[in-house]
């Protein structure tokens, strides 16, 4: 086993991870020894797939305000967001837009040269700053380019598959990692850890997520003793391309795209007349499924009935200027030009509102561990995230945790050499040598199909109980898997097997939390408990790892600004 020592270890190199690295490097004037660890090549993080925009208050002279952005976020969350967190976020975010501007991002501009903004669902002001429909990619590229000014003390571990986070004596002690390039067992140690590994969308079959988004950081944190918060709240984006699930950005509707059923009706007037297609995502997704279930959809492959996203009236020039990626994707993947024909779409699993529990500064319950981005739950999004608030969250808390962890490292020493690293490698060796009869690829396939069936846009206790029973059956079968590839170098068979174990743990937490929460709130819509129940459920779910499965308890929601009211649009 090779051992590498650094000051700050950052696990994950998406928007949150790169922003944290940049802030830590700048805070320390380049003196901090930083490790960037990713199972991918650096610019392949799923953040590059974010398309539509990043929310920030940039037009106070035209009617926007911090209070309005905060209210939109709290109301959109169905009042489960922590309001002190929301207030902090909206005040911090404009600075991040200007930082990126100064670092050279090519924001889309208005004719007078000001940074352009477009409408997004649930926002009462068009505050989504954007770069055509490639916002996440260009934000990532800008952060990466700027970080390269600090290469002296930036150490990259690309294509390093991390298998465990080691916590000993309430301190981060190291990461066990398979160096996929060279086929080596590695231990990475540091004075502090930032977890920025993203979400877990691949637990669903129909999803916008890359194949690599398998909840690794969530599962490893959970196994290491960090509680997961609010994991029952999974967001379904209203516009996933049929049949692949590729995201058709909310910017399509922000630019004026409409949703049509099989009768050619613009049906959102029946569900959210004041917002129409720009209602919050949970409401639009439920409206679409109601139309489909009522027989007003189009028949699709493998039961994926759909409706239409119509951009034709926007005109060729506007589509080419504002939505070039959408046109490229639909032409390449389904041979359809949205200038000429409507796009087939339906709700698709898109975002994990829950995550590793942190405080307002991204600090976990472990002394020297922080988390940021989608893997974390600082409680900004509550039960439903507003579009354009996720890339914004990554930027704000990437900066915050980078600053906090850098300050900690300046006065700290590394933990002692972890005693449990050998145990983790023994588990990997046992898996490689296993002669079990179960196929982990089949287990993954059944898991994803099960989540689609039991944890969809609408849920019932009966469905979720069946789903939980199935997950526990798969969890038992997983003990008897085997591998065909017995090597370490680029062993994707081993990587997929370990990922599937992570996915099972995350799925179990999510579905147990959802089954236990006997109400409907935001993205958690139960047909057997149709109303929001603030008397009993205005609280965060906290899931703790035990050998017998998740143990749930609850924590209060900060409602320091607005008391919950009925959510109408």
Tokens representing 525 are 């819509």
* Integer CA distances (angstroms), 121 to 254, 284, 309, 335, in order: 7, 9, 15, 28
237 is annotated as an active-site residue: yes
- Alpha-carbon span 35 to 140, nearest angstrom: 18
The burial class, CB within 10 Å (0-12 / 13-18 / 19+), for 270 is exposed
What is the number of residues in the chain?
569
Biggest CA–CA distance in the chain, Å, is: 68
403, containing H or E segment: helix 389-409
CA 343, distance to chain mean position in Å, is 25
Q: Are 117 and 59 in contact (CB under 8 A)?
A: yes
Catalytic residue, candidates 171, 253, 350, 477: 253
CA 67, distance to chain mean position in Å, is 25
Q: What is the DSSP letter of 270?
A: G
Q: Which residue has the tokens 């009617």?
A: 63
Tell me the three state secondary structure of residue 6.
coil
CB atoms within 10 A of CB 159: 18
For the chain, how far is it from start to end, CA to CA, in angstroms? Answer: 57
* Integer CA distances (angstroms), 468 to 63, 279, 312, 350, 438, in order: 47, 31, 43, 21, 20
What pairing do the DSSP bridges indicate for beta strands 8-11 and 54-55? unpaired
- Alpha-carbon span 467 to 454, nearest angstrom: 5
Tokens representing 569 are 């649009």
Q: Are 73 and 380 in contact (CB under 8 A)?
A: yes
CA 138, distance to chain mean position in Å, is 18
Q: Which residue has the tokens 């999803």?
A: 207
- Alpha-carbon span 346 to 330, nearest angstrom: 14
Pick from 12, 7, 14, 16: nearest CA to 378: 16
Q: Are 65 and 267 in contact (CB under 8 A)?
A: no
Percentages (nearest 5) of helix, strand, coil residues in the chain: 40, 20, 40
Own/partner pairs for 329-337, CB < 8 Å, 24+ apart? Answer: 329/241, 329/246, 329/248, 330/241, 330/248, 333/241, 333/244, 333/246, 334/241, 334/242
Tokens representing 501 are 């174990």
CB atoms within 10 A of CB 225: 14
Catalytic residue, candidates 118, 237, 399, 477: 237
CB atoms within 10 A of CB 568: 10
CB atoms within 10 A of CB 167: 25
Query: Looking at the annotation, which residues are catalytic?
Result: 237, 253
């Amino acid at each position: 086993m090779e051992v590498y020592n650094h000051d700050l270890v950052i696990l994950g190199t998406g928007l949150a991870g790169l922003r944290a690295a940049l802030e830590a490097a700048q805070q320390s004037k380049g003196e901090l020894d930083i490790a960037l660890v990713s199972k991918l090549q650096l610019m392949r993080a799923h953040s590059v797939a974010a398309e539509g925009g990043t929310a920030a208050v940039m037009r106070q002279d035209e009617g926007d305000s911090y209070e309005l952005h905060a209210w939109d976020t709290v109301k959109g969350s169905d009042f489960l967001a922590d309001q002190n967190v929301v207030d902090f976020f909206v005040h911090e975010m404009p600075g991040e837009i200007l930082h990126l501007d100064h670092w050279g991002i090519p924001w889309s501009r208005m004719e007078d040269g000001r940074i352009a903004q477009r409408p997004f669902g649930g926002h009462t002001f068009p505050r989504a700053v954007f770069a055509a429909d490639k916002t996440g990619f260009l934000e990532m590229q800008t952060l990466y380019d700027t970080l390269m000014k600090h290469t002296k003390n930036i150490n990259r571990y690309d294509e390093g598959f991390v298998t465990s986070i080691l916590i000993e004596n309430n301190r981060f002690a190291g990461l066990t990692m398979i160096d996929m390039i060279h086929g080596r067992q590695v231990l990475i140690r540091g004075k502090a850890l930032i977890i920025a590994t993203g979400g877990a969308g691949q637990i669903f079959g129909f999803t916008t997520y890359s194949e690599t988004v398998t909840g690794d950081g969530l599962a490893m944190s959970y196994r290491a003793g960090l509680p997961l918060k609010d994991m029952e709240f999974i967001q379904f984006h209203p516009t996933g391309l049929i049949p692949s699930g590729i995201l058709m950005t909310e910017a399509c509707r922000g630019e004026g795209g409409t949703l049509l059923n099989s009768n050619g009706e613009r049906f959102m007037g029946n569900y959210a007349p004041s917002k129409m297609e720009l209602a919050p995502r949970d409401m639009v997704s439920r409206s679409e499924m109601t139309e489909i279930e009522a027989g007003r959809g189009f028949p699709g492959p493998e039961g994926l009935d759909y409706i239409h996203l119509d951009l034709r009236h926007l005109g060729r020039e506007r589509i080419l200027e504002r939505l070039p990626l959408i046109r490229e994707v639909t032409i390449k993947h389904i041979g359809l030009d949205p200038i000429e024909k409507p796009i087939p779409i339906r709700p698709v699993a898109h975002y994990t509102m829950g995550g590793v529990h942190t405080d307002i500064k991204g600090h976990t319950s472990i002394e020297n561990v922080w988390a940021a981005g989608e893997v974390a739950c600082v409680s900004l999004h509550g039960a439903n995230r507003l579009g354009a608030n996720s890339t914004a969250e990554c930027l704000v808390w990437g900066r915050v945790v980078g600053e906090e962890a850098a300050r900690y490292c300046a006065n700290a020493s590394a933990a002692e050499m972890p005693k449990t690293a050998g145990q983790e490698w023994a588990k990997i060796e046992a898996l490689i040598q296993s002669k079990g009869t179960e196929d982990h690829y089949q287990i993954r396939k059944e898991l994803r199909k099960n989540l689609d069936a039991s944890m969809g846009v609408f849920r019932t206790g009966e469905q979720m109980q069946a789903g939980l029973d199935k997950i526990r059956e798969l969890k038992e079968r997983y003990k008897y898997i085997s591998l065909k590839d017995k090597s370490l170098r680029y062993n994707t068979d081993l990587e997929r097997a370990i990922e599937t174990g992570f996915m099972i743990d995350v799925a179990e937490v999510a579905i147990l939390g959802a089954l236990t929460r006997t109400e409907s709130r935001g993205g958690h819509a139960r047909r057997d408990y149709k109303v929001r129940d603030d008397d009993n459920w205005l609280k965060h779910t906290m899931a703790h790892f035990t050998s017998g499965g998740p143990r749930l308890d609850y924590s209060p929601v900060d409602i320091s600004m607005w008391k919950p009211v009925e959510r109408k649009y």
